[in-house]
Structure 1
Amino acid sequence: MVRMREIAVVGGGGGAVCLLEALSQRSGPPAAVTVFEPSGRLWRGRPYQRDADCILVNLPSRAMSVRAGDPGHFDRWLAAARRREADGAGEDGVGEDGVGEDGAPGKADAAGAAGGSTAAGEAAAGGAGRADPFNAAAFPARTLFGDYLESVAHDSVARLRARGWIVRVLPERVVHAAPCGGGATLTTERGGSHRADRVVLCLGAGAPHDRFGLDGPEPGFVPDPYPVAHTLAGIDPRDTVAVLGTGLTAVDVALTLRANRHQGPVCLLSRQGVLPAVRQRPVAHALQHFTPDHFHALSRRGEVGFTEVVRVLRDELAAAGQGPAELETELASLHEDPARRLRRQLDLVDAPGLGLRILQHTLPVAVDVWPLMPHRDRAELLRHHYRAIHSLCCPMPPSTAAHLSAMSDAGQLRIVRGLHNVSRTGRGFSAVTRDGRIDADTVVNATSVAAHRVPTAAAPLVQSLITASAASVHPHGGLRVRRETSQLVVNGTTQQCFYALGDLTFGSLFITAAIPVIVKLAQEISRDVTGP
């Protein structure tokens, strides 16, 4: 009798769901899958845990499908959720841990299978197809997308089991891994030992980096804003709140304070003061030039420099009857007054130009282009252009921008650039910017994760892999991976049994957390881990 291949998935968040979905759609002999997830956020991960309904996904629902080749999958789930809520569908009782009697995800982790939680039902009724005031697209609550992930996980596991797969979910943290006899041995914090033929690291993203060393026993500092429904609930509504960062996490904090009817001043502080751009009305666009095949053809003649990437983008724009002026204008306006830039971009939600929209369509292709670029160009891009690209390629929904603009117009919200330092004072905090000092009662940390991209809880596991020469650190952060398969790479040698998916691959890859990218990479990993 042929032994089943053992696949270990370390981490049970959105990346694991995308991988299970990809595996469930493949043919081939059955295998055994064990998912290790110690937190209470099985299938949801940190980004999509149950949280305030005002926190929305940043992509239109049609771009959030986790089923490859089926962009309408999430929209159909949303429609079914609304129908179930209208019909008053209930939910079968399961244990609080959401795991079935044999280690499978239970129906509590499959909201779509049984009507979802009360919160999910309310969101489905009031916000599942929520369109912003500009009718640009539906941007559901992020907690509702977490319900969708739970549902997909339940359905994927059911399909796998129907084909003879063994699927287990263990609520344990893996703290050590090492190669062993053509596979790997995993050790959990409880001392359990597990053997696997293939190991996929789906560790998620870490918490914001405490750049100024503000965490400590004294109150007033929020080191990680998620879940915002909990961490921000105790802030005095009259407090002056300083939010460190001006990216999407900082935007979530400002939205939540607004939803909580906060009355005091809110300041978003960062070095550059660049907010995410405002997403325009989506358009359908099939890439003609900016494609993986085209870039791989170019790479056969040598490295693909940044100048060459820009040329191909210009060709893509020209094929759609567009010039580069729109993108050039937006790049030149990054240092525009943030509030003015926000209002200007809100006025362009229905603009006829397609430049920004086409740029955003190229996002999934970035994982193919990035490894083909020379190291010096990648380093230059990260050093000088990362914030610009991230702002334009990962914009916020128009309704979110409208709320921020209203706070700004009312004099409550300030977006401040030139942040140098933040320190505790006798009565709160003091932030030093290039334009002066800002005193605050509360500081919320919404900065980027640490450069190494390793979540704190996963540090022992990653260090064990490095020590065992099964993983190596990329100079730009994260671990080195092979682009085609996401396998770990050490000294140019591909590690046969270890893979990584998500933020841990930053450096080797460029865009690592967007759902379309995760879905694409999960498909590739699923082919490799089930192959010969």
Structure 2
Amino acid sequence: MRICIVGGGTAAACLVMALARTFGSRDVDLVIVEPSDQLWRGRAYRTDRDEIVVNAPHTMMTLDPNDPEHARRWLARHHNGGGAHQSWTQEVFPPRHIYGRYLEESLSQTLDGLMAADWRVTWLRRRAVSVAPDGDKALVGLEGGATVPCDYAVLCVGGPSGYDPYGLAGHPSYISRPYPVASALATVDPSASVAVVGCGLTAVDTILGLRAQGHQGRITLLSRDGILAAVRRPLQVGRPTVMTPESVQERLDRSASPLRLSTLAALTRAEALLAGATPEQIAAEMSLADWGLSRVRRQLADREHVRDVDWLQVTTWALITTVHLWWPTLPRRDRQQFFRRYHRLWNSFTSPMPAATATTLVEMADSGQLEVVRGLEGVKATQQGFLVVAQHHTVEADVVIAAATAAPTGHSATPTGAHELMDSLIHNGCGQRHPDGGLRVQPDTGRLVDRNGRPQHSLLALGHLTSGTHYYMSGIPMLVWRGEAVAAAIAADASTGVTSAAPGLLAP
């Protein structure tokens, strides 16, 4: 059996590990189509500054869902000489580039074992420009005209190219992709005034990168709502009881009508209250009126009073572990309402920053170097630099850094280098765009859905291309989990003689 993986980033790494667990010593011909000069790391985990760290505990960053200690054991073996690199707790996190080494070395060791078990593994450093079914198999077209026939093609082509809503691409002082920060920010003058568009983790890493290289100029964070990544709370016990995968699936099975956003909101509130939240606490976290560094200061203070069971962690985990069930069932109008009201809060809670990072931001704000501005309306180039316009604020900047992604309320930007591939999928009818971005896929299996609504037996996708069908695909835990589902779908085919079931998500 030949499996062709299109893409060689982090999503592909998670899929290879899942395939290895699923198929073991069976006869597999694995072909990886990736034109770059390195595999597995993606942009976010390449060589970079030590200050740019991962933002999740080791149990959520493991490549093996059956072994929560896998990543921490690797770190202990490879960085036991002292220093912050050897630490990985709920409060202390290793640098992203160290985690990138974990990805590389884990995949190298796994592939060596697979080849010893007679797998054939080939890396084609070419760009895929087309994918199409070929009977009950698939055909991957490469730049230059060569083709790769295979039994299954899995598209793991990564995220979109730089977000450029204001048409600034090509300007010498506009940085569209801040990772790796060590190289992306190297040309920024230490005294320059910098406007960072975005308030999520990428924006936070951008600030840390500027600070690490001794930046002295003013830094302004700007976004529409000014909601920064939440402050990570101390790890506590407690698990969801109202919104579990089982209970949500049961509700969906017994109802002929789709789940509505109002029902979802009520279930979430019930989960929070049962976990010990007060109505006032819920209102504070859900309020968009509390924003910027004021919100960060409050969250830093609140984390000092977290109970044995932390309602916010329990509720966030309830949403993360059930979103794959309820999101595809929401009516389009409800999804649009979710984007408008909850999307930024979701990103804030599901991708929190370490408390130490939050403290650094507060210190920079207290010194007058950092400011957060909401109500962003536009950015335009001037003869002197840039003029950034917000509802009640105008900022002049020497440098603008894009650290935001497009909200998934329409067609998402095409992944870098995949324009021809996407066009071919749509043109030949074996792919269909999702109105919320990405391609339509079968939720359980990741199989592409053709223009007639039929799942494609031999064509599957993992990661960014499935956004729309899967609202939440950020981070290693979701890639590992969905990778298991894709491997299980391939294994379930009668021709393989293998059965497998995707495990549940690891606890935080």
TM-score under structure 2 length normalisation? 0.91
Q: 1:358 is matched with which residue: 301, 314, 335?
A: 314
Give the Cα–Cα distance (whole angstroms) in 1 for the partners of residues 389 and 3 of structure 2: 50
- The reply on whether 1:179 has 2:133 as its aligned counterpart is yes
CA, structure 1 residues 453+61, in 2 after alignment: closer, same or farther (shift >3 Å)?
Answer: farther
Give the Cα–Cα distance (whole angstroms) in 2 for the partners of residues 128 and 240 of structure 1: 35
Which residues in structure 2 correspond to 1:299-448 (within 5 Å)? 299-300=252-253, 301-302=255-256, 303-323=258-278, 325-332=280-287, 334-353=288-307, 354-362=310-318, 363-448=320-405
Measure how far apart 1:318 and its partner are: 4.8
CA, structure 1 residues 436+328, in 2 after alignment: closer, same or farther (shift >3 Å)?
Answer: closer
Does the 8 A contact of 1:360 with 1:394 survive in 2? no
- The reply on whether 1:454 has 2:414 as its aligned counterpart is yes
Give the Cα–Cα distance (whole angstroms) in 2 for the partners of residues 429 and 321 of structure 1: 47
Measure how far apart 1:414 and its partner are: 0.6
Give the Cα–Cα distance (whole angstroms) in 2 for the partners of residues 21 and 448 of structure 1: 28
Give the Cα–Cα distance (whole angstroms) in 1 for the partners of residues 99 and 44 of structure 2: 10
Give the Cα–Cα distance (whole angstroms) in 1 for the partners of residues 134 and 291 of structure 2: 56
Which stretch shows the higher mean deviation, 196-205 or 343-352?
343-352
Question: Which one-letter code corresponds to 2:444 in the other structure?
Answer: E
- The reply on whether 1:463 has 2:433 as its aligned counterpart is no
Measure how far apart 1:65 and its partner are: 0.8
Does the 8 A contact of 2:432 with 2:439 survive in 1? yes
Question: Which one-letter code corresponds to 1:413 in the other structure?
Answer: L
Q: 2:466 is matched with which residue: 502, 505, 508?
A: 505
TM-superposition CA deviations, 1:330-374 (whole Å, max 9, x none): 112x32241111111111223225121112323233122211323
Please give the secondary structure, in 1, of the residue aligned with 2:165.
Answer: coil
Sequence identity (%): 37
Give the Cα–Cα distance (whole angstroms) in 1 for the partners of residues 36 and 251 of structure 2: 44
Give the Cα–Cα distance (whole angstroms) in 2 for the partners of residues 60 and 10 of structure 1: 29
Question: Which one-letter code corresponds to 1:465 in the other structure?
Answer: L
Question: Which one-letter code corresponds to 1:431 in the other structure?
Answer: V
Please give the secondary structure, in 2, of the residue aligned with 1:23.
Answer: helix
- The reply on whether 1:127 has 2:82 as its aligned counterpart is no
Does the 8 A contact of 1:179 with 1:468 survive in 2? no
Give the Cα–Cα distance (whole angstroms) in 1 for the partners of residues 240 and 113 of structure 2: 33
CA, structure 1 residues 405+130, in 2 after alignment: closer, same or farther (shift >3 Å)?
Answer: farther
Specify the alignment match of 2:503 in structure 1: none
- The reply on whether 1:488 has 2:448 as its aligned counterpart is yes
CA, structure 1 residues 425+82, in 2 after alignment: closer, same or farther (shift >3 Å)?
Answer: same
Does the 8 A contact of 1:225 with 1:446 survive in 2? yes
Measure how far apart 1:267 and its partner are: 0.5
CA, structure 1 residues 358+325, in 2 after alignment: closer, same or farther (shift >3 Å)?
Answer: farther
- The reply on whether 1:298 has 2:248 as its aligned counterpart is no
Q: 2:111 is matched with which residue: 157, 161, 174?
A: 157
Please give the secondary structure, in 2, of the residue aligned with 1:51.
Answer: coil
What do you get for the CA RMSD once the two structures are aligned?
1.9
Question: Which one-letter code corresponds to 1:482 in the other structure?
Answer: Q
Question: Which one-letter code corresponds to 1:411 in the other structure?
Answer: G
Give the Cα–Cα distance (whole angstroms) in 1 for the partners of residues 46 and 302 of structure 2: 32
Does the 8 A contact of 2:275 with 2:311 survive in 1? no
Across the two proteins, how many residue pairs are aligned to each other?
A: 483
Question: Which one-letter code corresponds to 1:62 in the other structure?
Answer: T
Give the Cα–Cα distance (whole angstroms) in 1 for the partners of residues 244 and 117 of structure 2: 35
Question: Which one-letter code corresponds to 1:128 in the other structure?
Answer: Q
Measure how far apart 1:423 and its partner are: 0.9
Specify the alignment match of 1:98 in structure 2: none
Measure how far apart 1:19 and its partner are: 1.0
TM-score under structure 1 length normalisation? 0.87
Does the 8 A contact of 2:239 with 2:314 survive in 1? no
Give the Cα–Cα distance (whole angstroms) in 1 for the partners of residues 146 and 432 of structure 2: 25
Does the 8 A contact of 1:364 with 1:516 survive in 2? no
Give the Cα–Cα distance (whole angstroms) in 2 for the partners of residues 286 and 434 of structure 1: 41
Give the Cα–Cα distance (whole angstroms) in 2 for the partners of residues 285 and 335 of structure 1: 29
Does the 8 A contact of 1:292 with 1:369 survive in 2? no
Please give the secondary structure, in 2, of the residue aligned with 1:390.
Answer: helix
Which residues in structure 2 correspond to 1:51-66 (within 5 Å)? 51-66=48-63
Structure 2: 5+ residue runs without aligned partners? Answer: 495-508
Does the 8 A contact of 2:200 with 2:347 survive in 1? no
Give the Cα–Cα distance (whole angstroms) in 2 for the partners of residues 437 and 138 of structure 1: 37
Which residues in structure 2 correspond to 1:93-132 (within 5 Å)? 125-129=83-87
TM-superposition CA deviations, 1:10-29 (whole Å, max 9, x none): 11111111111111112463
Give the Cα–Cα distance (whole angstroms) in 2 for the partners of residues 47 and 368 of structure 1: 28
Measure how far apart 1:474 and its partner are: 0.4
Does the 8 A contact of 1:421 with 1:432 survive in 2? yes
